[in-house]
């Protein structure tokens, strides 16, 4: 399968030294402790309480990284990523691509663009989209995770994650394509998806559903080719 060329991250990160695996495990533990103690957005008055998700995310050696938008209220109350409805939908997508039932939590590194529940959207159902300032504050954590975990394949879920990894583009233009991205001194393949939240209506459009089906087929192809 041909890739659509290399996309250099729209958000250049600082160079992060490559460590041996043992050093990377220690560095990841340090990073997760830093994330756990971060209260930057609460101090900036953007969220009432910073409760970053930092546990149960994954391990050094996970070959797939899943990048969502931000924890939902379920994640806020039960700090395990993708433990709510979005996780159930995502597990269904992985199953459709031929993965076993435990793959999401047993073999994928789970992260998000921001790490604290942003609160509910005032105008509509669902959670508030993190602001550009929140994304900027949280960005170094994602860069360091990419540099330490060094995933081969990244599943970008939803418009915010797709924009962060590929730059601005309509979901319909990128879901169903494969990109190779260079970021945090690491090169990896990105498969974009819509967000698996039940709030998203993007998949109700038959044309978008066709893009999604193509993305599942591409994910299945990646699994078969690379033995994920
Ligand atoms: S969203 Fe990120 S930067 Fe903001 S408080 Fe939570 S961990 Fe810190």
Mean pLDDT by 10 residues, the chain (228 residues): 65 72 89 93 85 81 95 64 87 97 94 89 76 95 95 97 96 96 94 88 94 98 96
pLDDT at 11 (0 to 100): 76
**In this structure, what token pair is assigned to residue 51?**
């409760």
pLDDT at 74 (0 to 100): 59
Ligand 1 pocket test: pick from 42, 67, 137, 142 the residue with the most ligand atoms within 8 Å of its Cβ. 137
Q: According to DSSP H, which parts of 150-196 are helical?
A: 159-166, 171-174
Distance from C-alpha of 202 to C-alpha of 86, rounded to nearest angstrom: 14
Determine which residue's CA is closest to atom 4 belonging to ligand 1: 41
**In this structure, what token pair is assigned to residue 12?**
């250049």
Structural domains of the chain, with CATH: 6-226 (3.40.470.10)
Ligand 1 pocket test: pick from 57, 138, 139 the residue with the most ligand atoms within 8 Å of its Cβ. 138
- Tens-digit pLDDT profile for residues 47-86: 878 888 866 689 999 999 999 999 877 555 565 788 788 8
Distance from C-alpha of 129 to C-alpha of 146, rounded to nearest angstrom: 23
| Ligand 1 atom at shortest distance from the alpha carbon of 114 | 1
- 191 φ, ψ (degrees, to nearest 5): -115, 115
Determine which residue's CA is closest to atom 2 belonging to ligand 1: 138
pLDDT at 22 (0 to 100): 78
Ligand 1 mean position, distance from CA 83 (Å): 20
With 0-12 / 13-18 / 19 or more C-beta atoms within 10 angstroms meaning exposed / middle / buried, residue 75 is: buried
Distance from C-alpha of 56 to C-alpha of 105, rounded to nearest angstrom: 8
Question: Which segments within the chain are labelled E, that is strand?
Answer: 6-8, 64-68, 108-112, 153-157, 179-183, 186-193
pLDDT at 56 (0 to 100): 65
CA 185, 190, 192, 193 torsion-angle sign:
negative
Asked if residues 170 and 58 have their Cβ atoms less than 8 Å apart, the reply is no
pLDDT at 63 (0 to 100): 97
pLDDT at 94 (0 to 100): 98
Q: What is the pTM of this model?
A: 0.91
Helix (H) or strand (E) holding 218: helix 206-226
The residues, ordered by sequence, that sit 6+ positions from 48 with a Cβ below 8 Å of its Cβ are 42, 119
**Residue ranges lining ligand 1, Cβ < 6 Å:** 35, 38-42, 50, 52, 114-116, 134, 137-138
Walk across the sheet containing 6-8 and list its strands: 6-8, 179-183, 186-193, 153-157, 64-68, 108-112
**In this structure, what token pair is assigned to residue 151?**
């995933």
pLDDT at 62 (0 to 100): 96
pLDDT at 78 (0 to 100): 60
The percent of residues in the chain predicted with pLDDT above 90, rounded, is 66
pLDDT at 79 (0 to 100): 58
Ligand 1 mean position, distance from CA 13 (Å): 18
């Amino acid at each position: 399968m041909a890739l659509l060329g290399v996309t250099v991250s729209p958000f250049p990160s600082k160079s992060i030294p490559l460590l041996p695996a043992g050093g990377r495990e220690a560095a990841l533990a340090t990073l997760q402790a830093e994330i756990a103690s971060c209260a930057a957005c609460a101090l900036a008055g953007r969220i009432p309480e910073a409760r970053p998700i930092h546990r149960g995310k994954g391990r050094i050696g996970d070959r797939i990284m899943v990048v969502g938008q931000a924890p939902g209220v379920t994640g806020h109350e039960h700090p395990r990523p993708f433990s709510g409805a979005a996780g159930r939908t995502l597990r269904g997508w992985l199953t459709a691509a031929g993965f076993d039932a435990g793959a999401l939590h047993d073999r994928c590194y789970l992260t998000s663009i921001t790490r604290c529940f942003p609160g509910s959207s005032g105008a509509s159902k669902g959670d508030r989209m993190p602001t550009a300032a929140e994304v900027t504050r949280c960005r170094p954590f994602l860069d360091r995770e990419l540099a330490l975990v060094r995933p081969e394949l990244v599943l970008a879920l939803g418009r915010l994650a797709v924009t962060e990894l590929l730059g601005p583009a309509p979901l319909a233009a990128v879901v169903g394509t494969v990109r190779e991205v260079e970021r945090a001194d690491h090169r990896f393949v990105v498969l974009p998806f819509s967000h698996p939240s039940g709030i998203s209506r993007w998949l109700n459009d038959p044309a978008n559903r066709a893009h999604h089906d193509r993305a599942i087929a591409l994910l299945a192809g990646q699994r078969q080719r690379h033995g994920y």
